[in-house]
Structure 1
Amino acid sequence: MPRKRRTDDGDELLTRLGSLTAQAREHAELQRSRVELAIALQRDMLPAEMPAAPRYHLAVRYAPACHGLNVGGDWYDAFTMPDGRIGLSIGDVQGHNIEAAAFMGQVRVGLRALASVTSEPGELLTRTNDLLLSLGTELFATCTFMRLDPSTGVLEGARAGHVPCVWATADGRSGIVDGTGGPPLGIQPGTTYPVTRHRLTTGGMFVLLTDGVVEGPLLEVDEGLDQVVRLAGVAAVAGMTADSLAAAVIKGADRVGHEDDAAVLVLGYDGPDVQP
């Protein structure tokens, strides 16, 4: 009799193990499907092509976070506004799941829609902040929005809790864009966002990025930004293309030890088309 009970116990244990294995497999397949859906949302919500302007060059790189079940909500965007200027945005949604990926799409579309009402960067971020608060979600996003006037090379921008931009000129100067920003979008009602101004010169480079490029367990954000400043400075002096600089910056993101999205948007300027 004792031997029979041990056999019955063993059969019951194997049955339970089989059931648990099946449940674990089903759960893993469900999570994998959610990640694949989130990645598909990310890809579909990012712009298929960049706007064109004579003597200006736009280049982007994007590395989604696919570590385990983490899927982030970084985005970049560039589009021509009704007044003929070009809008550039880059940002990062809090969270690493399908909800973050979907919210990213809402922020990006909201910025585009409101840019048809006002292209002034500070007011645009204020309106977008109010729009996101009206949705009643607990998510928030950091963001930088820039407005380029192709006729003058002037860039005007505002930041909502986002890492600053980097600039470089062909004569060897480079640095981080000065100026304070406001809080992230979707947190505080009635927020205003200061506007900074920068002028591109011949051979100049301007870099927008997300924190996944410059900050992580192995790298402080200040050190990461300094690395991008050096890369941009070398690229501008050497006459490298915007695409080459974007590739170099995103490659540097491998050294930060993060499990986050990484996005880079580079704007290069050839200079005025002067006729003899």
Structure 2
Amino acid sequence: MTRETVRTLKALRQTVRSIALGHRLSADDRARLVLSLSEVAASALGGGRPVTVLSGREKGEDGAHRLTLALRLPQQAAESQVSTDRLPLRARTQPDGTFVWDLPLPSGAAYGHGMPFTGRPPATAAQHGASDVALLEEELRAALARADTLADEHQRLKHELAETNSGVLALYVQLEERDEQLRTAHGRTLRALEDALRPRPLHVDGLELAVHYAPASDDAPTGGDLYDWFTLPDGTVHITVVDAIGHGITSTRTALTVTHAVRTLALEGHPLESIVARTDTVLAPFDQNVMATLLLARLDPADGTLTLANGSHPPALLAHADGGASYLEVRGRGIGFPLPGSDRVLTATMGEDDVLLLYTDGLTESRRDPIEGEARLKKALCRHRRGPTELIPGLLAEDLLSDVLHQDDTLAIAVRRTGVSRSPRSGR
């Protein structure tokens, strides 16, 4: 390994460049090497203390040659800490404070054809008239070329990123379109299912009927609120309103089971006061978990006779033609409750242009206060009673659900007695 002692930064840079040129290092590696040794030795040389540069060429086990360059500082400078991570070319430090750089050499590179280092620029540099300025320009060109390459690479990566972002955005648009198509198809299917669960429209002379239904969530457009209406053989209209415990498909199945059982019992001729209890008796052996509230109403369009039976359900509301309204209270316990059945049957009379409202608790308990909800519902029905019958249920829902604290399925049925004579006919 050759050794050279230098006393100035200029001499150090010339020495390092001479070594780098002799071993055919690239201009970029040469510049990094000169800058790194200069930064490490600057403090010592600036204080008038010489440093020693050692260089040698070794062959590794893989057959590749490498240049080992060492910088030995005077004792006082060696004790100072220099961060090798900040150097343009990282070095390793030895226990005695010597800084060592190892650089792979290009194939066939040999310093001075094996001749010892003299401290002067090698013949290859002299032959090309290389001066310090020329070498600096070459190193600067290498740095600029490296910067240009990095800039080009950065631009290419930006372009690729832009194309990737554009592709991702297009994919998002496609996924959103597909999701919208699926939502639309899902909605159509669920609306068709909901329509299939509804009884067929009922047209009875002397009556106008309208219904509004809204699920607690768009994700589950069916729920436990269900209704059924049909005409009995004697010409009276039977209406069932059911609110099964829970939400979604499971509660829909419960509500369907209850409405079908009630319809069967009603068509078999069982008296209204017994149907709630008998429905529980019929269903209990098949499903111990069935729980539902229900309200049963029968109305004779000819004379306006109205009878009601209740199983834990909110009371019916009757709005009169004179502008007043009253709740028709009947006590009872629902399906799956202890001692199920209606305590009695309430009988009332609907006059001409009176409006009967049957509903589920989602309409009155949206603010979790049923007393307040019933008061608001009563005022709203009196306000909308004179409007078209087919609009009344929706208008009531809009008024009462404008400020919702508790989402629930909602069902409202409006029945207006027009007083027109009718001929009995079946609703099925």
Normalised by the size of structure 1, how large is the TM-score?
0.77
**Which of 346, 360, 363 is 1:196 aligned to?**
346
Higher relative contact order (CA 8 A, sep 6+): 1
**Which of 392, 407, 423 is 1:259 aligned to?**
407
1:93 to 1:106, Cα distance in 2 relative to 1, 3 A: same
Match of 2:93 in 1: none
- What is the one-letter code of the residue matched to 1:165? A
State yes or no: 1:132 paired with 2:283. Answer: yes
Q: CA deviation at 1:233?
A: 1.8
1:139 to 1:41, Cα distance in 2 relative to 1, 3 A: farther
Q: Percent of aligned positions with the same letter in both sequences?
A: 26
Deviations 1:146-193 (A, max 9, x none): 011122111101110001111111112212113x32111123356453
**Which of 388, 391, 407 is 1:244 aligned to?**
391
Larger Rg: 2
- What is the one-letter code of the residue matched to 1:90? V
1:229 to 1:119, Cα distance in 2 relative to 1, 3 A: farther
Q: Is the 8 A contact 1:38 1:98 kept in 2?
A: no
State yes or no: 1:121 paired with 2:269. Answer: no
State yes or no: 1:46 paired with 2:198. Answer: yes
Q: Note the 1:101-250 alignment, pairs <5 A.
A: 101-118=252-269, 120-178=271-329, 180-188=330-338, 191-216=341-366, 218-236=367-385, 239-250=386-397
Q: Is the 8 A contact 1:253 1:262 kept in 2?
A: no
Q: CA deviation at 1:141?
A: 0.4
Aligned residues: 236
Q: Match of 1:211, SS?
A: coil
State the Cα RMSD in Å: 2.5
1:38 to 1:121, Cα distance in 2 relative to 1, 3 A: farther
Normalised by the size of structure 2, how large is the TM-score?
0.51
Q: Match of 1:214, SS?
A: coil
Deviations 1:76-131 (A, max 9, x none): 22111122211011121001232211111111111111111125321122211211
In structure 2, runs of 5+ residues without a counterpart are 1-182, 422-428
Q: Match of 1:213, SS?
A: coil
In structure 1, runs of 5+ residues without a counterpart are 1-31
1:101 to 1:228, Cα distance in 2 relative to 1, 3 A: same
In the alignment, the residues of structure 1 paired with residue 342 and residue 223 of structure 2 have an alpha-carbon distance, to the nearest angstrom, of 27
Q: Match of 2:333, SS?
A: coil
Deviations 1:56-84 (A, max 9, x none): 10000000122666953101221111222
In the alignment, the residues of structure 2 paired with residue 113 and residue 162 of structure 1 have an alpha-carbon distance, to the nearest angstrom, of 21
In the alignment, the residues of structure 2 paired with residue 81 and residue 220 of structure 1 have an alpha-carbon distance, to the nearest angstrom, of 37
Q: CA deviation at 1:40?
A: 6.2
In the alignment, the residues of structure 2 paired with residue 250 and residue 102 of structure 1 have an alpha-carbon distance, to the nearest angstrom, of 24
Q: Is the 8 A contact 1:143 1:184 kept in 2?
A: yes
Match of 1:25 in 2: none
1:94 to 1:40, Cα distance in 2 relative to 1, 3 A: farther
In the alignment, the residues of structure 2 paired with residue 257 and residue 199 of structure 1 have an alpha-carbon distance, to the nearest angstrom, of 36
Q: Match of 1:208, SS?
A: strand
In the alignment, the residues of structure 2 paired with residue 122 and residue 176 of structure 1 have an alpha-carbon distance, to the nearest angstrom, of 19
In the alignment, the residues of structure 2 paired with residue 137 and residue 88 of structure 1 have an alpha-carbon distance, to the nearest angstrom, of 25
- What is the one-letter code of the residue matched to 2:398? K
